[in-house]
Structure 1
Amino acid sequence: MTENRDRDRLIDELIAVGRDAVERGLVLASGGNLSARVAENSFVVTASGTWLDRLTRDDFVELTLDSDEAGAGSIGSKPSSEWKLHHRAYLARPDAQCVIHLHPRHAVVLASIGREIRLLTLDHAFYVGSIGLTPFYHNGSDELADTAAEQLRSHNCVVMQHHGCSVVGDSVEMTYRRALNLEDAAKATALALQLGDTGTTFPPEAFAEIHHA
Structure 2
Amino acid sequence: MSGTRIRDRGTRDRGRLVDELIAVGRDAVGRGLVLASAGNLSVRVSEREFLVTAKGSWLDRLTPESFALLTLDDDETGAPVDVGPEPSSEWKLHHRAYRARPDAECVLHLHPRTAVVLASLGRPIRRLTLDHAYYLGEIAVTPFFHNGTDELADTAAEALRDHDCVVMQHHGCSVVAGDVQMAYRRALNLEDAAQATALALQLGDLDTVFPDDTATHA
TM bin, normalised by shorter chain, reads: over 0.9
Task: Measure how far apart 1:208 and its partner are.
Answer: 1.9
Partner of 1:190: 198
Flag the 1:166–1:72 CA change in 2: closer, same or farther, 3 A. same
Partner of 1:108: 116
* Cα distance in structure 2, aligned partners of 1:131 and 1:50: 28
Number of equivalenced pairs? 209
| Two-structure CA RMSD over aligned residues (Å) | 1.7
Partner of 1:134: 142
Q: Percent identity?
A: 70
* Cα distance in structure 2, aligned partners of 1:21 and 1:144: 22
Flag the 1:11–1:72 CA change in 2: closer, same or farther, 3 A. closer
Partner of 1:124: 132
Which of 62, 65, 73 is the equivalent residue of 1:58? 65
Which of 12, 23, 33 is the equivalent residue of 1:26? 33
* Cα distance in structure 2, aligned partners of 1:209 and 1:156: 15
Partner of 1:210: 216
Task: Measure how far apart 1:103 and its partner are.
Answer: 0.2
* Cα distance in structure 1, aligned partners of 2:12 and 2:122: 44
Question: Hey, which of these two has a bigger chunk of helix by percent?
Answer: 1
Flag the 1:101–1:199 CA change in 2: closer, same or farther, 3 A. same
Q: Which amino acid aligns with 1:16?
A: A
Task: Measure how far apart 1:69 and its partner are.
Answer: 2.1
* Cα distance in structure 2, aligned partners of 1:54 and 1:209: 37
* Cα distance in structure 2, aligned partners of 1:5 and 1:173: 15
Q: Which amino acid aligns with 1:82?
A: E
Which of 79, 89, 92 is the equivalent residue of 1:81? 89
Q: What is the TM-score with the length of structure 1 in the denominator?
A: 0.94
Q: Which amino acid aligns with 2:72?
A: L
SS at structure 1 position matched to 2:213:
helix
Which of 151, 160, 163 is the equivalent residue of 2:168? 160
Alpha-carbon deviations, 1:133-177, whole Å to 9, x = none? 110000100000000000000100000000000000000000000
Partner of 2:46: 39
Q: What is the TM-score with the length of structure 2 in the denominator?
A: 0.92
Structure 1, unmatched stretches of 5+, are: none
Flag the 1:173–1:211 CA change in 2: closer, same or farther, 3 A. closer
Higher relative contact order (CA 8 A, sep 6+): 2
Structure 2, unmatched stretches of 5+, are: 1-8
Flag the 1:78–1:70 CA change in 2: closer, same or farther, 3 A. farther
* Cα distance in structure 1, aligned partners of 2:208 and 2:123: 13
* Cα distance in structure 1, aligned partners of 2:88 and 2:42: 10
Q: Which amino acid aligns with 1:40?
A: E
Task: Measure how far apart 1:73 and its partner are.
Answer: 3.2
Partner of 2:103: 95
SS at structure 2 position matched to 1:208:
coil
Flag the 1:73–1:5 CA change in 2: closer, same or farther, 3 A. closer
Alpha-carbon deviations, 1:31-89, whole Å to 9, x = none? 00000000011100000000000000000001000132254435411000000000000
